Structure formats: structure tokens, C-alpha cells
Amino acid sequence: MWTLVGCRGWRGRVLVPWVSGAARRPRPAPTRSADAESWVASRLYGSADVEEKFDMSRFPVENIRNFSIIAHVDHGKSTLADRLLELTGTIDKTKNNKQVLDKLQVERERGITVKAQTASLFYDFEGKQYLLNLIDTPGHVDFNYEVSRSLSACQGVLLVVDANEGIQAQTVANFFLAFEAQLSIIPVINKIDLKSADPERVEKQIEKVFDIPRNECVKISAKLGTNVESILQAVIERIPPPKVHRKNPLRALVFDSTFDRYRGVIANIALFDGVVSKGDKIVSAHNQKTYEVNEVGVLNPNEQSTNKLYAGQVGYLIAGMKNITEAQVGDTLYLHRQPVEPLPGFKSAKPMVFAGMYPVDQSEYNNLKSAVEKLTLNDSSVTVHRDSSLALGAGWRLGFLGLLHMEVFNQRLEQEYNASVIMTTPTVPYKAVLSSAKLIKEYREKEITIINPAQFPDKSKVTEYLEPVVLGTIITPDEYTREIMMLCQARRAVQKNMVFIDQNRVMLKYLFPLNEIVVDFYDSLKSLSSGYASFDYEDAGYQAAELVKMDILLNGNIVEELVTIVHKDKAHSVGKAICERLKDSLPRQLFEIAVQAAIGSKIIARETMVVILPEK
């Protein structure tokens, strides 16, 4: 079981046999010995030795389309991807085709997409065969980084909107990601089979909010397959082919990577120039190391080895990269002795939430370290800093994009690497502006970032504290507007805008302090709006704030792991709530225990745990 400090509990351990990387699905072991030998060989040596090779040269650039599916959570991205795979004959049509591209156990358990997944589809249209490279992306705000990376390999997107729920907060965020990347956008109105569906209302919303004409919307039911084939035709007609040059030297972008325990790093690449073949010697622009290509291929949706990949195509590459730091997402690969100008790559993800992670048993430290390193290869948006605690021993301070991101990372550690950890209460990164030249010289900078509350500097050492803020977008039925506004005001938010997107729905924009929304704001918002409101946010920098460090004491002793940073105006209410929660959750003893919250030497809240009297 997971042991957490100040967080929700976790399910029991689930063991997955033969998991060989985050994006690979275990196969059932065969019973016959000949089949078993073949199966083991395919696991050890890869599909290149046992799969028929595809000839990718038969697809000229003008017959290639690279597109992504983006949408708000639960609007039907993965279901639509399943239907497209069936229509193109990529997978057989069966009742079991649900979330085919969601290969992680955590994705299937939670019903969400966490990792962007790629599939190459072959489709005949008007006498020509087209290669359609599809990338299914996550919908939750925490995984926006996955979406932005995926869009770098595309020329167009399908923007899926639920015919009942209409435009939601993440729909708006994803639209602007695609718009800023100058991609062709095809709006798709899904779930028209629902009794409560109102596609005409959603068409009006799309026209008003995104300025896309109604006649460009494609109305479908991904669940039933209604009108889905028209999407493939729209992709061919409305998304341009990639602008690439096959005669130029190789230039490939690594937009994702996974780790296979038998074959090392598997890099997902988009070729912008040239050709890459098995046996080629390639160089990483990031580390200048040279590798020999062992295997290239496409995902169909499982790995299919090919002789070559050509400019404009999307596929995978295995080149004997054994060290997890060698396959940097955003890196450019080129042929040995044929250097090229590196591609722009990606902005590094900015962590929004930090938490301490420690092994339950310190003897497991090295195993957990290896697991964290391998998992951060598959999820480069997680930042890792070494940390230690008097009570918990050696560990790390990890940075995540949000709470769901943190939960998913922990769940994957347990399921894929059988790791048991202790997690501390999540916090956000604060900044402090130092007051003296001596301190600036000591820290080597005037403005320091604090990711561990225990290291929060005293007020005497700083001129001001800064807290992170985000620009939040809330879309809600107008009947809940008053309650939601009161909730936002209680979280120290400042209203920036309010727009009616149709007769019944309102889009609110607020500037929030990040620490006010990071733990339970989303749950409160859903509760107030009966589940109808949606929420998304983007980084908006830092603002000055009156912050204080609040210690939690048990019988007069400070518990470092429970130290928290709060706004001065909320210190008493937060301290009282923490003391009450600890009083109810800590095991009872045969003696009184004082649970106190303090700012400096001043006690601001106290609870006393009741003594258990021994039985006579």
C-alpha cells in the first residue's frame, strides 16, 4: 500500500508481468514450447526479426497527413481514435476495442489518456493511398505539456467537442495551443447520438468563441461510428501535407520516448528532412554522441519495423541508447558527419506542484532511484531534486504539473516498478527577494526559489515574498455563476473577464494564487456546480504576497514534514484545520498529545488528543 502524509490513500499493489516500458502492453505467455521460443525471441530482439517490413517509400510527401486529436476530458478522443483505427483496417472491428491507444494500466483504470500515443493509418481515397499519422493526446490540464509536444509533429488537429456539454475550459486551452502553432483545425462535434445532444447550439458556440464557420463542423457519433469516415476525408482535404525535403540531410525531432528493459530507449521521431535507415550512424545534437540505428519503424498501433523512414513521416527509432538521459525530448538527430541546424525543440515544462518522496524502507533507496530515473525518461516534465529528512531519510523533492500528474506518477511507480513510497503534502514554488548583499553573495542570486517549505527564509532576510499565480478559465451554466464567484473570492482570486458564450453558459477568467487552487479547488468547483463547471489554468508569473511559514508541533516538537507556507490572512483558519485533522487521524496514546500550529514563537491554533484510558 502507499503510505501518504496529508494525501489520499492508494489502492493495493498490482503486479504487471513482463512490463517492458511505459507504453508497451504485456502479451499473454504461450503454452507450446515452439511458440514460447518465438515469443521470447520477439521480446528480446524486437519486432524487426519477426514482423513483415513495411515499404514506406511508396508514400510521397503529398500523400502524408500528420494530425492530432485534442479535446476536453471525456469528450471522446480515445473512442474516436478506436473508430479511425477500425475504419482504416489498422485493427479488427470487435467489441473489445476500447481505449486501444491507451496502453498504460493507469490509463485504463482511470479512463483517461496520460501519454500521447501514435498510430500510422493507411487509407485509400480517390484512387490514392494515404499515410495518416494519428496522435491521440491527453485531455486533462495537468498533461498540456504532452499535447504541446504532440502538436509539434502535426500539421492539423481534430478539435473534438461534446454535443451535450459543449465548449469546456480545456477545449479553449487546446484550441489556442493549436492556433498558436498555426495548425489547420477541424472542429468535430461528437456524441450526437445522445438524447440530450444539441449540435446546433455547439456549432454556435464554436463560431462565437473560435471564429470557425458552422459549416466546417463535422457531426459524428464515435461510439456508434456514425459519419466517422467523413473525418478521414476532411483530414485529407483540409490538412496540408508536411513541408519537408527528402533530398536534404537527415533532421529528425524526438517528440517522445519510452524505455524498454530489453532494447533500451525507444524514441518517437518526426522526420523533417532526409531519410533514416537501419544501420545508419546518427548523432544527437544534445549530447553529440554517435549511435548506430538498430531498428526503425511505424506504430500500427503496435510496433512494425520498416527498412527506412522518410521525411514527413512519424515513427520510432531504436539506436542502442542505454542511458536514460541520452534521449532528450526535443532533441534533433542527424547523420554522422552531416551536421544540420537543430530544430527549435520544446520549452521545458514548468512544475506547478512539489512534494517530497521517500522510500518506505531506506534499503530500497537505490531501486527506487532507478525506477524514478526510468519513469522520468517517459515523463520528462517531472523535475527531480535530491532531498533528505531526519524522520524519513534520503529521498527526493519532485516537481509535477498538477495533483493528478502527481497521483498518476505515483500509481505508475507502484504498478510498473513495484515501488512503495511515502509522499509529503504537496506545495507550490515560492520566491523570496533577498535583502542584503551578503545573502545575495551566499545564494549567488538576488531572487531565490523555495520548493521545500522547511527552507523558507525568515522575514528579516528578505525584502518581499512572491507567490505563483495562474490565469484560470471557468466555463459554467449561468445559474451557478454567483456561487462560483463567491468561491473564487474566498480563494483570493481577482476577476479579469466574464463572457456569455451562449444563452446559458458563462466563461469566467480569474487570476488565482496557485496555492489556493492546487489541492481542493477543482473538487469544490464541481460540487458547487453539480459537476457541470469546467476549469483550466495557465501560468501567469508571480506576485508579491504576505506569506508566513507555519510550523506544526506535536508535544512542543516541530515536525519538519508538516511545515507549510500560508498567506498571513489565512494562517489562523488553515492552522486550526490542520490541527483538527491531525487530532482525528493520528493514533491515540496513553498520554495527552498537544497538536499546535505556530508562526515563529506564537501559537495560533491548538488541539489536544484525548488520552486512551487502559482497561481495568
CB atoms under 10 Å from CB of 590, counted, come to 8
Could you give the angle at the alpha carbon of 514 between the alpha carbons of 510 and 520, nearest 5°?
Answer: 95
Length of the chain: 616
Q: What is the 3-state secondary structure (H, E, C) of 277-343?
A: ECCCEEEECCCCCEEECCEEEEECCCEEEECEEECCCEEEEECCCCCCCCCCCCCEEEECCCCCCCC
Q: Are 203 and 189 in contact (CB under 8 A)?
A: yes
Residue 245 annotated as part of some ligand binding site: no
DSSP string for residues in 67-130: EEEEESTTSSHHHHHHHHHHHTTSS---TT-SSTT--SHHHHHHT---S-EEEEEEEEETTEEE
Q: Are 509 and 472 in contact (CB under 8 A)?
A: yes
Burial 326-362 (b: 16+ CB within 10 A, else e): bbbbbbbbbbeeeebebbebbeebebbbbbbbbbeee
Residue 76 annotated as part of some ligand binding site: yes
CB atoms under 10 Å from CB of 15, counted, come to 9
Identify the bridge partners of residue 566 per DSSP, sorted by sequence position: 548
Q: Are 578 and 565 in contact (CB under 8 A)?
A: no
- Grid cell at residue 301: 498501433
Q: Are 266 and 257 in contact (CB under 8 A)?
A: yes
Q: Are 281 and 96 in contact (CB under 8 A)?
A: no
Nearest to 159 by CA among 142, 183, 143: 183
Residue 73 annotated as part of some ligand binding site: yes
Residue 302 annotated as part of some ligand binding site: no
Q: Are 105 and 16 in contact (CB under 8 A)?
A: yes
Residue 55 annotated as part of some ligand binding site: no
Nearest to 440 by CA among 461, 470, 421: 461
- Grid cell at residue 542: 508571480
Residue 567 annotated as part of some ligand binding site: no
Separation of alpha carbons 133 and 4, rounded Å: 41
Q: Are 468 and 513 in contact (CB under 8 A)?
A: yes
Separation of alpha carbons 502 and 510, rounded Å: 20
- Grid cell at residue 378: 517517459
Q: What is the CA radius of gyration of the chain?
A: 26
Helix (H, G, I), strand (E, B) or coil at 204: helix
Residue 139 annotated as part of some ligand binding site: yes
Helix 169-180 to helix 144-151 angle (10° resolution) is 30
Residue 90 annotated as part of some ligand binding site: no
Sign of CA dihedral 479, 480, 483, 487: negative
Residue 190 annotated as part of some ligand binding site: yes
Residue 330 annotated as part of some ligand binding site: no
Q: What is the 3-state secondary structure (H, E, C) of 352-373?
A: CEEEEEEECCHHHHHHHHHHHH
Residue 374 annotated as part of some ligand binding site: no
Residue 273 annotated as part of some ligand binding site: no
Strands 184-190 vs 218-219: parallel, antiparallel or unpaired: parallel
Could you give the angle at the alpha carbon of 358 between the alpha carbons of 355 and 362, nearest 5°?
Answer: 170
Residue 75 annotated as part of some ligand binding site: yes
Q: Are 440 and 374 in contact (CB under 8 A)?
A: no
Residue 191 annotated as part of some ligand binding site: yes
Separation of alpha carbons 144 and 137, rounded Å: 9
Residue 137 annotated as part of some ligand binding site: yes
Q: Which residues are annotated as a binding site?
A: 71-78, 136-140, 190-193
Q: Which residues are annotated as a binding site for GTP?
A: 71-78, 136-140, 190-193
